[in-house]
Each structure stands twice: as C-alpha cells, then as structure tokens.
A and B are shown apart, each in its own frame.
Chain A
C-alpha cells in the first residue's frame, strides 16, 4: 500500500497555485461584470461559478505540469526538481517517511 505524504512546502506551493487560479477566475468575473454591464453583486452571487472555474484552472495546471514532466522524461531530460508535480510521492524528497519500513 503506497503511502503519500506531502511536505508542508509542497502544500504551501499548491495552495499558492490554487490562490492564483482563484484570482484569475475572480479577475475574469470582474472583467465579465464590466463587459456585460452586470450588477456588482455578481461578485458574490457568481462565486460558485468562480470556484468552479478555479477548480478547472487548477486541474488544467496539474495536467499541464504532468504533460511537461512526461515530455521531459520521454526525451530523457528528467527535471532536476519534481516539486512542480503535486500528489506524487518522491522517495528522495526531503521529509519522506515510511512508517511501515521503519
């Protein structure tokens, strides 16, 4: 049974990515409100759409990073750092622990 562990700096990095995605989605909402002459209250009333867009952007960002990683592996240029890949266990990473094999 694999054991996944995300070190705190990775969590911070992913949360930062998520925040950037949220800011982009909010920016798009503001742009749409101005562009379509919609009421400012849509900043709050459209929050669900913004959160959904945040999730979509974040997933897209993961996919993009996986593609880049896969491509680099394919051409034999394994990236020096794999920190950009979330949710993947890296045995050599600092903070890796396997309680089962202690």
Chain B
C-alpha cells in the first residue's frame, strides 16, 4: 500500500499524503523479541517491500530459530544491545515481556533508532512518561501496539460517534472475556517465568496491561477526553495455579462530566467475548463485532394518541415505571444492527499499523496522535491496576499528563 492509500485509510496518517511518494525508500528494521506476538508482527513486516528485517534479538533460542524460518538472512543476537549497535538499522520493533520494554526502548532511543513498542509500553507510569519524553527529545519515531487506531472500522465509527450520529455517549462498557488459563507450554520448569511472563507480577500486570490497554484507548478516543478518576477490584478467583496476576478484574473510569467507562475481564467464561460497547442515547456501537445499532429499531412506535392512552392506563393500573412492565423484562433488544463497513470484520488493523510504522520510518515523519494515544492507553491501564492494588479511587495524576490537545491535557509546568 502506498503512502497516499495509507493516508486515506487513517485520518492521522494524512501527514504522509504531503510527503513525496517514498516508494524508492527502504528501511532496515530489527525485531527484539520474536516470540508469538513478535512473529505475528514479523508476518506483516516480512511481506512489506519497503522494509528489510535485518536482525533478531532474543534470549530464547527457539524464538530466534522460528524467526529465522521467516527471514533466514537476518542476523541473530542474544543481547539486544548488540543489535542496537548496528548503525545500519533504522528502527526496532520491541515485542518482549512488559517489564523489559522500558530499558530496551530507552536504549533504542539513545542509539538513535526509531521505536515500535508493543503495549503496554512500560511497567510503571513513571517509566511510561520517561519514554514519551525521550521520544520527544530524540525526535525519533515512536509507535505503540494500539492497532485499533489503524483499523478502518474503528476510524469510520469514531467519525460517526464524534458527529453525534449515535447521540450523546454517556457510558462505555469494555470487556474482554476468555475461558482459558493463558498459559504457554513450557519445555522445562526453569523456563516457566520466562515463557509465562504474563502470569507473574515481576514481569506483567496481567489483564490490565495485556488486554485492557487496547480497549481503554478506544474509550478515550470515543469520548475525546481523559478520565479523572478510576476505581477497581481484582482477584484470582478461578485459575489458582500459582499465578500472581488476577484472572478477574473490574474497573470504573469516571470522567469529569460524569461519563463512565467500565472495564471487566474474566478468563473463566468466554460467552460474551470482547467488546467496547459505546452507548449513545440514539444508538450503540460494538466495534469489535463491527456493528452499530440504532435505538429506534423495530416496529414503528404506536401513534401518539395510543401512546397517551397506554400511559393513562399505566397510571391507572400502576405499571412498574422504573423497570418496565413485569411481563416485559428489559432484556437486550433483538436488533441485528448494521455492519460499520458493510461487512463482517476481517482484520484488526495490525497490518496497517506495521505499514504505517514502516512509512513513518522511511519518511522520518511522526504522525500526530499515535505516540500520545499509546502513552495514555498505557497510563490508563497502569492506574487501573494501581486502583485495584490499593482498593482506592485514584485520580489521574496531574504529573502524568502530557500536552495533548484532543483530550485537552497539558503537561504540568516543570
């Protein structure tokens, strides 16, 4: 996909439209952490004609071996710092365990590399802020793994939400449910914490950093603001197998104008799967399903005269006014909705995200909003985790705000 086509798919990639076609450009990238997620990214990057994958770094040899099956010509390193010393490499893709992101990304910026870092971008809020500042100071490209920012159905639906097509959005219900232990097979016991790093608190903050990060960003994107407070609870309720991170988390993010965003993740029941339900007074959006539903769907309302008579009847016979008639429970409406893009979703935006990163590196152009959206997504999942840990309602710290006009936030004076 060329720069112009890419720009057309994403409103904040229009930056590329003003840059000359960079078809002759080619960037050289290194992949740090070619585990399962890293190889998924590699599957797109390896097919991109404007990108050459020249090196892999990982401390786990089987991951390197599998990556070499995709790009046999790449060099391999067991220490990522050796990869960063290669002056011919323009940028790096970091897909390592969460607790290692900060040091690797920091070293990469210091080595003058452009950085794509998987979400969440750091283990603590302070590290996250420091990385963002280093991105600004270095002038290097900074992308995070928020692929929904590049997904055409999200882009389309956000435009509709912001135009008020679904009315006033009062709340967002985001959830991600699975039924599985989230474990990877471990060839020998000493590798347990290395391979199943998502389950241990030294290397992960569990569902909040691995799953919520995507969906909280969707919420702030839809509402166009940052929540002011967050409360939450979490527990290990089902998978009591020695893990240290919660398998059951629930958070509420409250916005200054009273709007609410809930986040829930349970990994012992998958019936409802994942979704970000955007609830407007005229309609609902379920972007994961790729659909929207208008409130006035269904048979046309009764004539006003009949409605009035029914209301009088209710007043006379005492209908249950707050929960509807007892013989008509207010269960979900059977509304098939409409596909946002006219068809069922086929991809999640990762392909476009990697293409955009390659284009950004080739043109040395940081598109607006990408780093900032990734920054706040990480901060929101980290403060949600903190609220769960402390069993308190926590305000979003002023010290962690950055200059970001779409959310009306400003960095505190330093």
Partner-B contacts on A (CB < 8 A)? 28-29, 31-33, 35-36, 38, 42, 45-46, 49-50, 53
For the complex, give the distance between the alpha carbons of A35 and B308 in Å: 9
Q: Which of B109-117, B135-143, B298-306 contacts A (4 or more CB under 8 A)?
A: B298-306
A selection of 14 A-B contacts at a CB cut-off of 8 Å is A29-B305, A31-B308, A32-B303, A32-B304, A32-B305, A33-B305, A36-B301, A36-B304, A36-B307, A38-B304, A42-B303, A42-B304, A49-B306, A53-B305
Chain A contacts for B305, CB-based, 8 A: 28-29, 32-33, 42, 46, 49-50, 53
What's the minimum C-beta distance from B309 to chain A, rounded to whole angstroms?
A: 8
Q: Which residue among B303, B304, B306 has the maximum number of chain A CB atoms within 10 Å of its CB?
A: B304
For the complex, give the distance between the alpha carbons of A28 and B305 in Å: 7
Chain B contacts for A29, CB-based, 8 A: 304-305
Given contacts A35-B304, A46-B304, A53-B305, 8 further A-B contacts (CB under 8 A): A29-B305, A32-B304, A36-B308, A38-B303, A38-B304, A42-B303, A42-B304, A46-B303
For the complex, give the distance between the alpha carbons of A42 and B307 in Å: 12
For the complex, give the distance between the alpha carbons of A35 and B307 in Å: 10
| Contacts between chains A and B (CB distance < 8 A), count | 35
For the complex, give the distance between the alpha carbons of A46 and B308 in Å: 12
Considering the complex, give the chain B residue whose CB is closest to the CB of A38.
Answer: B304
What's the minimum C-beta distance from A70 to chain B, rounded to whole angstroms?
A: 26
Q: Which residue among B301, B303, B305, B308 has the maximum number of chain A CB atoms within 10 Å of its CB?
A: B305
What's the minimum C-beta distance from A46 to chain B, rounded to whole angstroms?
A: 5
Which B292-334 residues have C-beta < 8 A from chain A?
301, 303-308
Chain B interface, >50% SS class = helix
- Mask: chain B, 196-223; 1 = CB below 8 Å from A; 0 = not: 0000000000000000000000000000
Per the CB 8 Å criterion, the residue count for chain B at the interface is: 7
Considering the complex, give the chain B residue whose CB is closest to the CB of A36.
Answer: B304
For the complex, give the distance between the alpha carbons of A14 and B323 in Å: 45
Chain B contacts for A53, CB-based, 8 A: 305
Chain B contacts for A32, CB-based, 8 A: 303-305, 307-308
Chain A contacts for B307, CB-based, 8 A: 32, 36, 38
For the complex, give the distance between the alpha carbons of A46 and B301 in Å: 13
What's the minimum C-beta distance from A27 to chain B, rounded to whole angstroms?
A: 11
Chain A contacts for B304, CB-based, 8 A: 29, 32-33, 35-36, 38, 42, 46
Chain A contacts for B301, CB-based, 8 A: 36, 38
Considering the complex, give the chain B residue whose CB is closest to the CB of A49.
Answer: B305
Considering the complex, give the chain B residue whose CB is closest to the CB of A31.
Answer: B308
Taking a contact as CB atoms under 8 Å apart, the answer to whether B308 and A45 are in contact is no
What's the minimum C-beta distance from B100 to chain A, rounded to whole angstroms?
A: 59
For the complex, give the distance between the alpha carbons of A31 and B303 in Å: 12
Q: Which 9 A-B pairs have the closest CB atoms?
A: A38-B304, A32-B304, A36-B304, A32-B308, A46-B303, A49-B305, A46-B305, A32-B305, A33-B304
Chain B contacts for A42, CB-based, 8 A: 303-305
For the complex, give the distance between the alpha carbons of A53 and B303 in Å: 14
For the complex, give the distance between the alpha carbons of A50 and B303 in Å: 11
Considering the complex, give the chain A residue whose CB is closest to the CB of B307.
Answer: A36
For the complex, give the distance between the alpha carbons of A50 and B308 in Å: 12
Chain A contacts for B303, CB-based, 8 A: 32, 38, 42, 45-46, 49
